[in-house]
Amino acid sequence: MKKRKYEEGQTLLFVIVAVTIALTVGVAVSTRTISSLRRVSRTDTSTRVIAAAEAGIENMLGRTYSQLNAAMDADEGGCDAIGAELGPETGTCMYILSESSPDDQAGSDVISSRAVVSVEKFSSNLPEGNGYSFDLEPGLVKEIILDGDSEDYTSNQIQLCWKSNRAVIYYYSYDSNGTVKKGGLYPNGFPDTSIFSGLFEPVPGAPSNRTSLGFNYCENISLVSDSSYGLRIKVLYGPDTVAVFPSPETLPAQGYMLTSRGEVATETGSEERATVIVRKSYPYAPDIFDYGIYTPEILE
């Protein structure tokens, strides 16, 4: 009888322990499930908002230059030129991608999305010195426009910079009369300089205001004249990032900067945004037209 008395309450203890363990496991599983659902929801919303921003960019990239020029005056009816509506902010246009309505059934995927876009011209994409930077692959050419629509680059000097000590720069400037001035630059200490003609010059380094931007080699080069039409640049032996810095003026417009802000709003009132910026340069002749770029100087 005493033994039975001492064993009273053990069953209740086992039940409490079992219930506690079950509740702990259940809460942990529920928490992980809710977190997983939230991540899926955030991923889905992020995908949609990025897709909305990219849709606005894709729409503008297919427009002609005259349409993009018109879109820069969005408040003066320019949005019609790119098939858009007037945007919520001054100077913007808007593409409605999907729109919820009061007739949407409860429980359905009620999400509205739009792309708010703007167009402007650009002459620089670097924070200092009004510089214009771009990536180049061997065999390709990049042209810097010096004869702009509204203003020209009237200096006969411009600074040319690049990053790698394994890349060599070849350039030439030309004017509207067809006069050409050629030149080349290679980093000081390049392994084999015997392959270069007299057109190429060594460059020891770069000033501190350029190295802070990641450019290790810079040189001020002379253009064909103070009324040059364009500057064409090639990189040899390896890909590299190249930049031009105007001195003392600014460059004319080099193309259009297209900005698209994707916006997605859900039925709960939450809103997500993502912005995509693309620079579309003005057209220029491809490198196949540079068939005379390596001809001797005497044939210029």
> In angstroms, what CA-CA distances link 106 with 4, 97, 109, 267?
61, 21, 9, 10
Give me the mean pLDDT over the 224-233 stretch. 88
Query: What per-residue confidence (pLDDT) applies to 267?
Result: 61
Q: Is the pLDDT of residue 16 over 80?
A: no
Say if CB 204 and CB 212 are below 8 A apart. no
Bond from prior residue into 127 cis (ω within 30 degrees of 0) = no
Give me the mean pLDDT over the 259-269 stretch. 79
Query: What per-residue confidence (pLDDT) applies to 105?
Result: 52
Query: What per-residue confidence (pLDDT) applies to 32?
Result: 67
The alpha carbons of the chain give a radius of gyration, in whole angstroms, of 31
Strands of the sheet containing 132-136, edge to edge, are 132-136, 240-246, 157-162, 217-222
Nearest in space to 244 (alpha carbons), one of 124, 156, 131: 131
Number of H helices, E strands in the chain: 4, 14
Nearest in space to 214 (alpha carbons), one of 127, 122, 124, 123: 127
Categorize the per-residue pLDDT at 193 as very low, low, confident or very high, splitting at 50, 70 and 90: confident
Q: Is the pLDDT of residue 104 over 80?
A: no
Categorize the per-residue pLDDT at 299 as very low, low, confident or very high, splitting at 50, 70 and 90: very low
Q: What is the mean pLDDT of the chain?
A: 83
Location of structure tokens 């001035």: 181
Q: Is the pLDDT of residue 102 over 70?
A: no
**Residue that wins the pLDDT comparison between 158 and 38:** 158
Quick one: tokens of 87?
Answer: 């945007």
The whole-angstrom separation of Cα 262 and Cα 113 is: 7
Provide the whole-model pTM: 0.75
Domains and CATH numbers, the chain: 1-119+257-270 (no CATH), 132-252 (2.60.120)
Query: What per-residue confidence (pLDDT) applies to 298?
Result: 45
Say if CB 124 and CB 131 are below 8 A apart. yes
**Residue that wins the pLDDT comparison between 19 and 260:** 260
Location of structure tokens 């808007």: 94
Q: Is the pLDDT of residue 149 over 80?
A: no
Among 37-46, 187-196, 257-266, the minimum mean pLDDT is found in 37-46
Over pLDDT 90: what percentage of the chain?
48
Furthest-apart CA pair in the chain: how many Å? 122
